């Protein structure tokens, strides 16, 4: 399936069996996390939560 990249707005190829939490790197350089819910599949930039991990 194709999901719109929340950062650059271009379509991202997401495997139909992608699981929530799966990580996909988009051509624009953004690392996206798959979020699955009742409404379907969404993508969110992983950069948003990277700070939580610390270094």
Residue 34: closest CA among 55, 10, 3:
3
> Which is closer to Zn ion, CB of 2 or CB of 38?
2
Residue 42: closest CA among 28, 32, 52:
32
> Which is closer to Zn ion, CB of 7 or CB of 41?
7
Residues 1-55 that bind Zn ion (CB under 5 A): 5, 7-8, 26, 28, 30
> Which is closer to Zn ion, CB of 8 or CB of 23?
8
Residue 43: closest CA among 31, 51, 28, 52:
31
Query: Which residues of the chain form contacts with Zn ion (CB under 5 A)?
Result: 5, 7-8, 26, 28, 30
């Amino acid at each position: 399936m194709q999901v719109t990249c929340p950062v650059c707005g271009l379509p991202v190829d997401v495997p139909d069996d992608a699981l929530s939490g799966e990580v996909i790197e988009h051509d624009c350089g953004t690392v996206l996390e798959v979020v699955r819910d009742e409404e379907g599949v969404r993508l969110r930039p992983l950069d948003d939560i990277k700070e939580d991990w610390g270094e």
